[in-house]
Chain A
């Protein structure tokens, strides 16, 4: 295969993978908002398109590098660049096929696991078990446990705060209006700060810790003021019985949830676009046979991932979100806000630490956290078990698929 064909194939497979991520994972990222009826299906698509894209483009490179060179060492293949390129192709195709199949079966598998499994499968068939950086794999496995727990704990405390300070208040609407700007400030603070501080690598803006903090605070004050203005227009009718006042509280949270939904989409884009483009990057570099010293993400590679996610989302994600929006009977804006805020924070922080975590895991953890804080009416633990089983299955299946595809490619083109 000529390098050009490899690059084109890698771009196609990378796009296919990104398409599947958009179609599958986006339901997890946006579903809580739609389920709580804070945003409509159409609005969810628009929000997701804008923020997935900007998340991928602005902070999307940290994890990509972990996936591309963390699991197997690309330098080990420097004399066999073609082998490495085929391996990356196999990884992309295997992961995309598995995610596509899983979406069809309704199984919520992690796209991150799929890629990791694919890389491992190819690494094992070429250089044996010893070629795998098991330390890195262990870190990733650990993050599977860490991310749902972290997401769960953060969401637990956010919902506890909401229920103590707002829902349990004698005048819940007044309390909601009082705390809503503060919550908006918090969301904005976490988001803007993590974006500015060592984020935005692609824009080459290097802020110091203090500067990033100051700018984040400035932006968040604006957010505070905007939300303050919006909620102050909501009328307070203290003569209504509590039961009637309650929906007004949720209206305040519906406004906040638009922010967390955007935030969720942003961090999802930042984290998950890497799954699609990490191996694509590797394949491109191997094919170009350039120096392996700097595996930096090119803009065009990131765009393929971002466009793919948005394409998958608008073509297939619409259907998925629709199912989700009807199925969740028990999401309210206050609960959705707590779960999304917790999950998005976890995803963003972990993604900045270079840990390829899964949005699905984190959101599952966050939802359970809200449930434990007495928020959710009922959680189906059997489904939870099935989800965990599908998480465990993903690695071996993706690995086997990738190994098989790699052998086929090698047989066809290298004899």
Chain B
């Protein structure tokens, strides 16, 4: 019936769905790293495949959200902001997939000093993603509260935590890079691949932060 087609489902509900799929990718990072560091090549292959499958699903949801946000839809948030959130979310899944693929290329040496710190690095990166997810989960409530009030303040606190954790992950990234570069007797292939892996892992946190910053823009309008 005519006038009721005026209403559309809130895009934030679909965005929450996409974020859950993104988390299916990132939640596999610890076991991926674990298998890689321990030289379990088969497990790496398998985990990378799983991540890739979920990344594909993320893309599907992303495309369906984009299709449901034509210019003829009026929303209480800027269309560009929403598209940017989706793009950053997609980047999280993409970089996770890249990480899996990188690890399937070659069995490489694992510097002892790296082994000790790598778990903490992964933890911090995942914390950034985790916090971003809780922000996404609150978006629908935030919209119901018209992007103001205690709910908005609560989210700003979360966003501050995200920025903090992302900074922490940057520090780790520089640290690890330094370790790799300074490891004596590391072959060229290992060096290159480790550099790539560390950078890609850091990018996951960057993408999550970028998404969070977009949400900050929406609230501060």
- Chain A residues close to B by CB (< 8 Å): 27-28, 31, 35, 106-108, 163-164, 167-170, 172, 242-243, 246, 320, 323-324, 327-332, 360, 363-364, 367-368, 371, 373-387, 390
Contacts and interface: CB of A to CB of B under 8 A. Distances in A.
B4 A242 contact: no
A19 B151 CA distance: 47
B75 interface: yes
Contact of B10 (A172, A378, A387): A378
Interface string B134-151: 000010010111111111
Contacts of B7: 35, 327-331, 367, 376-380
Contact of B149 (A28, A170, A373, A384): A170
Interface residues of B, number: 33
A374 B6 CA distance: 15
A383 B74 CA distance: 11
B149 A168 contact: yes
A368 B146 CA distance: 15
Contacts of B147: 374
A217 to B, nearest CB: 31
B105 to A, nearest CB: 43
A383 B148 contact: no
B1 interface: yes
Contact of B4 (A163, A328, A385): A328
Contact of A381 (B4, B72, B144): B72
A120 to B, nearest CB: 23
Contacts of A390: 2
A296 to B, nearest CB: 34
Interface string B110-148: 000000000000000000000000000010010111111
The SS class assigned to the A binding surface is helix
Given A242-B154, A374-B146, A380-B73, 4 more contacts: A379-B73, A380-B7, A380-B72, A390-B2
5 contacts: A107-B2, A327-B5, A377-B9, A380-B73, A384-B6
A379 B146 contact: no
B3 A381 contact: no
Query: Closest 9 interchain pairs by CB?
Result: A377-B10, A108-B2, A168-B149, A378-B8, A163-B146, A382-B72, A374-B76, A168-B148, A379-B74
B56 interface: no
Nearest to A175: B149
A160 to B, nearest CB: 9
A324 B1 contact: yes
B8 A387 contact: no
Contacts of A327: 1, 4-5, 7
B16 interface: no
Contacts of A168: 145-146, 148-150, 152
A242 B1 contact: no
Contact of A367 (B6, B10, B141, B144): B6
A325 to B, nearest CB: 9
A363 B3 contact: yes
A332 B145 CA distance: 11
Interface centre among A28, A164, A242, A329 (most CB of B within 10 A): A242
A382 B146 CA distance: 24
A106 B11 CA distance: 25
A330 B70 CA distance: 18
B6 A377 contact: no
A329 B3 contact: no
A107 B3 CA distance: 8
Contacts of B154: 242
Given A163-B146, A164-B148, A246-B144, A378 B3 contact: no
Given A168-B145, A242-B141, A371-B76, A377 B5 contact: no
Nearest to A377: B10
B76 A375 contact: yes
Contact of A383 (B2, B9, B13, B150): B2
A170 to B, nearest CB: 5
A170 B2 contact: no
A106 B138 CA distance: 36
Contacts of A170: 149-150
B42 to A, nearest CB: 43
Given A379-B6, A383-B6, A320 B11 contact: no
Nearest to A379: B74
Contacts of A167: 144-146, 148-149
B41 interface: no
A363 B13 CA distance: 25
A5 B138 CA distance: 65
A378 B11 contact: yes
Interface string B69-99: 0111111100000000000000000000000
Interface centre among B7, B146, B150 (most CB of A within 10 A): B7
A381 B1 contact: no
B146 A329 contact: no
A371 B2 contact: no
A377 B72 contact: no
Nearest to B2: A108
A324 B138 CA distance: 27
Interface in B1-32: 1-13
Interface string B45-81: 0000000000000000000000000111111100000
B74 A381 contact: yes
A390 B3 CA distance: 11
